[in-house]
Amino acid sequence: MGRFNILKSLSAADGFKERKEGFSRSPLVHHLTEEELVTLKALVFESFEDFDAVCRKHRIFYTVSGGTILGSIRHKGFIPWDDDIDIQMPRKDFNKLKKVFNEELGDKYTLCAPELGRGHGMAVCQMKRRGTILRSYNEVSKKDAGIPLDIFILENTYNSPVLRKLHGTACLMMGLLMSARKTCYDLPYLEPYFEGNESLKQSFEKKAALGKLVSFLTLDQMSRLTYRVYSMCRDDRSRYVTIPSGRKHFFGELYLRREMCRARKSEFEGRWIPIPYGYVTYLHALYGDSYMELPPEEDREQHPVMEISFGDVRVRTKEGL
Protein backbone atom coordinates (compact mmCIF):
# COMPACT_ATOMS: atom_id res chain seq x y z
CA MET A 1 0.00 0.00 0.00
CA GLY A 2 1.42 3.41 -1.00
CA ARG A 3 1.94 6.31 1.35
CA PHE A 4 -1.13 8.13 0.02
CA ASN A 5 -3.35 5.07 0.49
CA ILE A 6 -2.06 4.63 4.05
CA LEU A 7 -2.97 8.24 4.87
CA LYS A 8 -6.37 7.83 3.25
CA SER A 9 -6.99 4.68 5.26
CA LEU A 10 -5.92 6.32 8.52
CA SER A 11 -8.08 9.38 7.94
CA ALA A 12 -11.11 7.15 7.39
CA ALA A 13 -10.46 5.12 10.54
CA ASP A 14 -12.99 5.35 13.37
CA GLY A 15 -15.54 6.59 10.84
CA PHE A 16 -18.24 9.16 11.42
CA LYS A 17 -21.15 6.70 11.40
CA GLU A 18 -19.38 4.09 13.56
CA ARG A 19 -18.50 6.62 16.25
CA LYS A 20 -22.04 7.94 16.46
CA GLU A 21 -23.49 4.46 16.67
CA GLY A 22 -20.93 3.47 19.31
CA PHE A 23 -21.79 6.37 21.58
CA SER A 24 -25.52 5.94 21.07
CA ARG A 25 -25.31 2.68 23.03
CA SER A 26 -24.05 4.43 26.16
CA PRO A 27 -26.65 4.89 28.93
CA LEU A 28 -25.15 8.34 29.54
CA VAL A 29 -26.19 9.58 26.09
CA HIS A 30 -29.44 11.54 25.94
CA HIS A 31 -32.01 10.60 23.29
CA LEU A 32 -33.95 13.63 22.10
CA THR A 33 -37.69 13.69 22.69
CA GLU A 34 -39.94 14.70 19.82
CA GLU A 35 -40.54 18.06 21.51
CA GLU A 36 -36.79 18.65 21.90
CA LEU A 37 -36.17 17.77 18.25
CA VAL A 38 -38.84 20.23 17.10
CA THR A 39 -37.39 22.99 19.29
CA LEU A 40 -33.84 22.24 18.16
CA LYS A 41 -34.80 22.39 14.49
CA ALA A 42 -36.62 25.68 15.03
CA LEU A 43 -33.62 27.21 16.77
CA VAL A 44 -31.20 25.98 14.08
CA PHE A 45 -33.47 27.34 11.36
CA GLU A 46 -33.56 30.71 13.11
CA SER A 47 -29.76 30.72 13.27
CA PHE A 48 -29.67 29.97 9.55
CA GLU A 49 -32.00 32.87 8.79
CA ASP A 50 -29.78 35.23 10.79
CA PHE A 51 -26.70 33.93 8.95
CA ASP A 52 -28.41 34.29 5.57
CA ALA A 53 -29.46 37.88 6.29
CA VAL A 54 -25.86 38.91 7.04
CA CYS A 55 -24.55 37.15 3.93
CA ARG A 56 -27.13 38.91 1.78
CA LYS A 57 -26.31 42.28 3.32
CA HIS A 58 -22.58 41.95 2.73
CA ARG A 59 -22.74 39.98 -0.54
CA ILE A 60 -21.07 36.94 0.95
CA PHE A 61 -21.49 33.83 -1.20
CA TYR A 62 -22.52 30.53 0.36
CA THR A 63 -24.67 27.49 -0.29
CA VAL A 64 -26.02 24.89 2.06
CA SER A 65 -24.09 21.63 2.28
CA GLY A 66 -24.26 17.93 3.13
CA GLY A 67 -27.52 16.63 4.53
CA THR A 68 -29.16 20.03 4.13
CA ILE A 69 -28.87 19.72 0.34
CA LEU A 70 -30.16 16.17 0.51
CA GLY A 71 -33.02 17.24 2.77
CA SER A 72 -33.97 20.04 0.39
CA ILE A 73 -33.97 17.80 -2.69
CA ARG A 74 -35.56 14.72 -1.10
CA HIS A 75 -37.80 16.20 1.63
CA LYS A 76 -38.04 19.93 0.80
CA GLY A 77 -36.80 20.56 4.32
CA PHE A 78 -34.96 18.86 7.16
CA ILE A 79 -34.29 15.16 6.84
CA PRO A 80 -36.94 14.01 9.35
CA TRP A 81 -34.50 12.38 11.79
CA ASP A 82 -31.81 15.06 11.38
CA ASP A 83 -31.38 18.16 13.52
CA ASP A 84 -28.82 20.47 11.88
CA ILE A 85 -28.11 22.74 8.93
CA ASP A 86 -24.77 22.63 7.13
CA ILE A 87 -23.23 25.53 5.21
CA GLN A 88 -20.36 25.67 2.73
CA MET A 89 -18.56 28.73 1.40
CA PRO A 90 -15.30 29.62 -0.38
CA ARG A 91 -12.39 30.64 1.83
CA LYS A 92 -12.46 34.23 0.53
CA ASP A 93 -16.12 34.56 1.55
CA PHE A 94 -15.50 33.09 4.98
CA ASN A 95 -12.78 35.71 5.42
CA LYS A 96 -15.40 38.38 4.64
CA LEU A 97 -17.73 36.83 7.20
CA LYS A 98 -15.03 36.94 9.89
CA LYS A 99 -14.57 40.67 9.33
CA VAL A 100 -18.23 41.55 9.92
CA PHE A 101 -19.25 38.76 12.28
CA ASN A 102 -18.77 40.43 15.67
CA GLU A 103 -20.56 43.61 14.64
CA GLU A 104 -23.47 41.85 12.94
CA LEU A 105 -23.91 38.65 14.95
CA GLY A 106 -21.57 38.73 17.94
CA ASP A 107 -24.24 39.56 20.53
CA LYS A 108 -26.17 36.40 19.68
CA TYR A 109 -23.57 33.98 18.32
CA THR A 110 -19.94 32.89 18.66
CA LEU A 111 -17.83 32.12 15.57
CA CYS A 112 -15.47 29.15 15.99
CA ALA A 113 -12.76 28.21 13.49
CA PRO A 114 -9.29 26.59 13.59
CA GLU A 115 -7.55 29.92 13.05
CA LEU A 116 -9.55 31.67 15.80
CA GLY A 117 -8.26 29.54 18.71
CA ARG A 118 -10.22 29.12 21.97
CA GLY A 119 -9.66 25.35 21.93
CA HIS A 120 -11.95 24.75 18.93
CA GLY A 121 -9.68 21.94 17.69
CA MET A 122 -11.81 21.00 14.67
CA ALA A 123 -11.38 21.58 10.94
CA VAL A 124 -15.04 22.48 10.45
CA CYS A 125 -16.03 26.03 11.40
CA GLN A 126 -19.17 26.71 13.44
CA MET A 127 -21.53 29.53 14.35
CA LYS A 128 -22.84 28.76 17.84
CA ARG A 129 -25.87 30.19 19.60
CA ARG A 130 -25.02 31.90 22.88
CA GLY A 131 -26.99 30.79 25.93
CA THR A 132 -27.50 27.25 24.62
CA ILE A 133 -25.64 23.95 24.92
CA LEU A 134 -25.38 21.02 22.54
CA ARG A 135 -22.58 18.57 23.30
CA SER A 136 -21.86 15.56 21.15
CA TYR A 137 -18.75 13.37 21.47
CA ASN A 138 -16.56 15.99 19.76
CA GLU A 139 -17.81 18.81 22.03
CA VAL A 140 -17.32 17.26 25.47
CA SER A 141 -14.26 19.36 26.38
CA LYS A 142 -15.35 22.68 24.88
CA LYS A 143 -16.35 25.91 26.54
CA ASP A 144 -18.01 27.12 23.33
CA ALA A 145 -20.69 24.42 23.17
CA GLY A 146 -23.68 26.33 21.85
CA ILE A 147 -26.10 24.88 19.30
CA PRO A 148 -24.21 25.24 16.00
CA LEU A 149 -24.46 25.80 12.31
CA ASP A 150 -21.57 23.88 10.73
CA ILE A 151 -19.62 25.82 8.10
CA PHE A 152 -17.45 23.83 5.68
CA ILE A 153 -14.82 25.80 3.79
CA LEU A 154 -14.39 25.34 0.04
CA GLU A 155 -10.62 25.58 -0.29
CA ASN A 156 -8.81 26.42 -3.51
CA THR A 157 -6.51 23.74 -4.83
CA TYR A 158 -3.99 23.61 -7.63
CA ASN A 159 -4.61 23.09 -11.35
CA SER A 160 -1.37 21.09 -11.58
CA PRO A 161 -2.11 17.39 -10.86
CA VAL A 162 1.24 17.03 -9.07
CA LEU A 163 0.70 20.06 -6.82
CA ARG A 164 -2.91 19.02 -6.21
CA LYS A 165 -1.77 15.54 -5.13
CA LEU A 166 0.83 17.06 -2.78
CA HIS A 167 -1.73 19.50 -1.36
CA GLY A 168 -4.26 16.73 -0.82
CA THR A 169 -1.76 14.43 0.87
CA ALA A 170 -0.65 17.25 3.18
CA CYS A 171 -4.31 18.01 4.02
CA LEU A 172 -5.00 14.35 4.85
CA MET A 173 -1.96 14.21 7.09
CA MET A 174 -2.71 17.46 8.92
CA GLY A 175 -6.41 16.70 9.30
CA LEU A 176 -5.58 13.32 10.82
CA LEU A 177 -3.00 14.80 13.20
CA MET A 178 -5.36 17.56 14.32
CA SER A 179 -8.15 15.05 14.96
CA ALA A 180 -5.72 12.81 16.85
CA ARG A 181 -4.42 15.74 18.91
CA LYS A 182 -7.98 16.67 19.88
CA THR A 183 -8.81 13.03 20.71
CA CYS A 184 -5.78 12.97 23.01
CA TYR A 185 -7.11 16.10 24.73
CA ASP A 186 -10.70 14.82 24.90
CA LEU A 187 -9.99 11.28 26.08
CA PRO A 188 -10.47 11.87 29.85
CA TYR A 189 -13.85 13.50 29.14
CA LEU A 190 -14.93 10.60 26.91
CA GLU A 191 -13.96 7.70 29.16
CA PRO A 192 -17.32 7.47 31.02
CA TYR A 193 -19.06 6.87 27.67
CA PHE A 194 -16.84 3.88 26.80
CA GLU A 195 -18.21 1.65 29.56
CA GLY A 196 -19.36 -1.62 28.08
CA ASN A 197 -18.02 -0.79 24.61
CA GLU A 198 -14.42 -1.98 24.43
CA SER A 199 -14.10 -1.58 20.64
CA LEU A 200 -15.11 2.09 20.82
CA LYS A 201 -12.67 2.65 23.68
CA GLN A 202 -9.82 1.02 21.78
CA SER A 203 -10.47 3.05 18.63
CA PHE A 204 -10.25 6.32 20.55
CA GLU A 205 -7.23 5.19 22.55
CA LYS A 206 -5.45 4.27 19.31
CA LYS A 207 -6.12 7.71 17.89
CA ALA A 208 -5.15 9.41 21.16
CA ALA A 209 -1.81 7.55 21.06
CA LEU A 210 -1.11 9.18 17.70
CA GLY A 211 -2.13 12.53 19.17
CA LYS A 212 0.48 12.17 21.92
CA LEU A 213 3.18 12.33 19.25
CA VAL A 214 2.21 15.95 18.54
CA SER A 215 1.20 16.87 22.09
CA PHE A 216 4.13 19.31 22.26
CA LEU A 217 1.80 21.54 20.22
CA THR A 218 -1.24 23.01 21.92
CA LEU A 219 -4.62 22.26 20.41
CA ASP A 220 -4.81 25.81 19.05
CA GLN A 221 -1.32 25.62 17.55
CA MET A 222 -2.18 22.33 15.84
CA SER A 223 -5.42 23.81 14.53
CA ARG A 224 -3.75 26.91 13.10
CA LEU A 225 -1.10 24.80 11.39
CA THR A 226 -3.82 22.66 9.81
CA TYR A 227 -5.66 25.78 8.66
CA ARG A 228 -2.50 27.04 6.93
CA VAL A 229 -2.10 23.77 5.04
CA TYR A 230 -5.77 23.60 4.03
CA SER A 231 -5.77 27.20 2.75
CA MET A 232 -2.29 27.25 1.17
CA CYS A 233 -3.54 27.62 -2.43
CA ARG A 234 -4.39 31.31 -2.95
CA ASP A 235 -5.72 31.02 -6.51
CA ASP A 236 -9.36 32.08 -6.27
CA ARG A 237 -9.83 31.14 -9.94
CA SER A 238 -8.42 27.63 -9.78
CA ARG A 239 -10.34 24.99 -11.71
CA TYR A 240 -10.89 22.85 -8.62
CA VAL A 241 -12.06 23.39 -5.07
CA THR A 242 -12.12 20.89 -2.24
CA ILE A 243 -13.58 20.42 1.24
CA PRO A 244 -10.76 18.89 3.34
CA SER A 245 -12.92 19.24 6.47
CA GLY A 246 -15.74 17.21 4.89
CA ARG A 247 -16.56 13.63 5.82
CA LYS A 248 -14.80 12.29 2.69
CA HIS A 249 -11.82 14.60 3.07
CA PHE A 250 -9.75 16.22 0.32
CA PHE A 251 -9.86 13.69 -2.52
CA GLY A 252 -13.37 12.45 -1.78
CA GLU A 253 -14.71 16.01 -1.92
CA LEU A 254 -12.79 17.42 -4.86
CA TYR A 255 -15.07 19.33 -7.24
CA LEU A 256 -15.00 21.64 -10.23
CA ARG A 257 -15.27 25.26 -9.11
CA ARG A 258 -18.04 25.93 -11.62
CA GLU A 259 -20.21 23.28 -9.92
CA MET A 260 -19.69 24.47 -6.34
CA CYS A 261 -19.16 28.24 -6.54
CA ARG A 262 -22.38 28.97 -8.40
CA ALA A 263 -25.78 28.57 -6.80
CA ARG A 264 -29.36 27.74 -7.69
CA LYS A 265 -32.44 27.86 -5.49
CA SER A 266 -34.16 24.93 -3.83
CA GLU A 267 -37.06 24.69 -1.41
CA PHE A 268 -36.39 24.13 2.29
CA GLU A 269 -39.06 24.41 4.99
CA GLY A 270 -41.18 26.79 2.95
CA ARG A 271 -38.43 29.12 1.77
CA TRP A 272 -35.88 29.14 -1.04
CA ILE A 273 -32.27 28.48 -0.13
CA PRO A 274 -29.05 28.37 -2.22
CA ILE A 275 -27.67 24.94 -3.17
CA PRO A 276 -24.65 24.28 -5.42
CA TYR A 277 -25.25 24.47 -9.15
CA GLY A 278 -23.69 21.00 -9.44
CA TYR A 279 -25.73 19.49 -6.61
CA VAL A 280 -26.38 16.24 -8.50
CA THR A 281 -22.64 15.55 -8.80
CA TYR A 282 -22.22 16.47 -5.15
CA LEU A 283 -25.00 14.20 -3.88
CA HIS A 284 -23.76 11.27 -5.95
CA ALA A 285 -20.25 11.75 -4.55
CA LEU A 286 -21.40 12.02 -0.95
CA TYR A 287 -24.33 9.61 -0.75
CA GLY A 288 -24.10 7.33 -3.79
CA ASP A 289 -26.48 6.72 -6.68
CA SER A 290 -29.46 5.88 -4.45
CA TYR A 291 -29.49 9.16 -2.51
CA MET A 292 -33.19 9.74 -3.28
CA GLU A 293 -34.16 6.49 -1.54
CA LEU A 294 -34.83 6.51 2.20
CA PRO A 295 -32.15 4.49 4.02
CA PRO A 296 -33.14 1.62 6.32
CA GLU A 297 -33.95 2.80 9.82
CA GLU A 298 -30.74 1.31 11.25
CA ASP A 299 -28.66 3.41 8.80
CA ARG A 300 -30.28 6.76 9.66
CA GLU A 301 -27.58 8.89 11.23
CA GLN A 302 -28.33 10.84 14.38
CA HIS A 303 -25.95 12.81 16.55
CA PRO A 304 -25.32 11.31 20.00
CA VAL A 305 -26.21 14.00 22.55
CA MET A 306 -24.22 14.17 25.76
CA GLU A 307 -25.86 17.41 26.94
CA ILE A 308 -28.51 19.76 25.60
CA SER A 309 -29.95 23.00 26.95
CA PHE A 310 -32.02 25.67 25.30
CA GLY A 311 -31.38 27.98 28.26
CA ASP A 312 -33.77 30.90 28.30
CA VAL A 313 -33.63 31.27 24.51
CA ARG A 314 -37.02 31.77 22.91
CA VAL A 315 -37.14 30.64 19.31
CA ARG A 316 -39.38 31.50 16.43
CA THR A 317 -41.27 28.31 15.62
CA LYS A 318 -42.28 27.56 12.03
CA GLU A 319 -45.13 25.30 11.04
CA GLY A 320 -43.78 22.06 9.65
CA LEU A 321 -40.47 22.00 11.55
Sequence spans of domains, the chain: 3-309
Cα(272)–Cα(278) distance, integer angstroms: 17
Q: Answer whether residue 83 shows pLDDT above 90.
A: no
What is the mean predicted confidence (pLDDT) over 44-53?
Answer: 97
CA distances from residue 178 to 48, 167, 226 in whole angstroms, order as listed: 28, 16, 7
Q: How confident is the model at residue 229 (pLDDT cuts 50, 70, 90)?
A: very high
Which tens digit of pLDDT belongs to each residue from 25-38? Answer: 788 888 889 999 99
How many other C-beta atoms can be found within 10 angstroms of the C-beta atom of residue 4?
14
Cα(1)–Cα(12) distance, integer angstroms: 15
**Stretch (H or E) spanning 265:** strand 263-268
Q: Answer whether residue 315 shows pLDDT above 70.
A: no
Please tell me the predicted confidence (pLDDT) of residue 4: 46
Eight-class DSSP state of 240: E
Please tell me the predicted confidence (pLDDT) of residue 9: 46
Which tens digit of pLDDT belongs to each residue from 236-254? Answer: 999 999 999 998 999 999 9
Q: How confident is the model at residue 19 (pLDDT cuts 50, 70, 90)?
A: low
The DSSP string of 148-215 is EEEEEEEEEE-SSHHHHHHHHHHHHHHHHHHHHHHHHHHHHHHGGGGTT-HHHHHHHHHHHHHHHTTT
> With contact defined as beta carbons under 8 Å apart, do 192 and 168 qualify?
no
Q: Answer whether residue 1 shows pLDDT above 80.
A: no
What is the mean predicted confidence (pLDDT) over 43-63?
Answer: 97
Please tell me the predicted confidence (pLDDT) of residue 10: 46
Q: How confident is the model at residue 320 (pLDDT cuts 50, 70, 90)?
A: very low
Among the ranges given (30-34, 48-52, 131-135, 277-281), the one the predictor scored with the smallest mean pLDDT = 30-34
Among the ranges given (109-123, 150-164, 229-243, 265-279), the one the predictor scored with the smallest mean pLDDT = 109-123
Please tell me the predicted confidence (pLDDT) of residue 13: 42
Cα(51)–Cα(158) distance, integer angstroms: 30
Q: What is the pTM of this model?
A: 0.90
Q: Answer whether residue 312 shows pLDDT above 50.
A: yes
Q: How confident is the model at residue 318 (pLDDT cuts 50, 70, 90)?
A: low
What is the mean predicted confidence (pLDDT) over 9-13?
Answer: 45
What is the mean predicted confidence (pLDDT) over 260-274?
Answer: 96
Side chain identity at residue 94, one-letter code: F
Q: How confident is the model at residue 20 (pLDDT cuts 50, 70, 90)?
A: low
Q: How confident is the model at residue 14 (pLDDT cuts 50, 70, 90)?
A: very low
CA distances from residue 226 to 113, 235, 272 in whole angstroms, order as listed: 11, 18, 34
Give the pairing of strands 271-276 and 263-268.
Answer: antiparallel
Mean pLDDT of the chain: 89
Residue 63, strand partner residues: 88
Which tens digit of pLDDT belongs to each residue from 195-226? Answer: 888 888 999 999 999 999 999 999 999 999 99
**Percentage above 90 pLDDT, the chain:** 72
Distance in angstroms between the alpha carbons of the first and the last residue of the chain: 47
Q: How confident is the model at residue 235 (pLDDT cuts 50, 70, 90)?
A: very high
Please tell me the predicted confidence (pLDDT) of residue 165: 98
CA angle 248, 251, 253 (to 5 degrees): 55
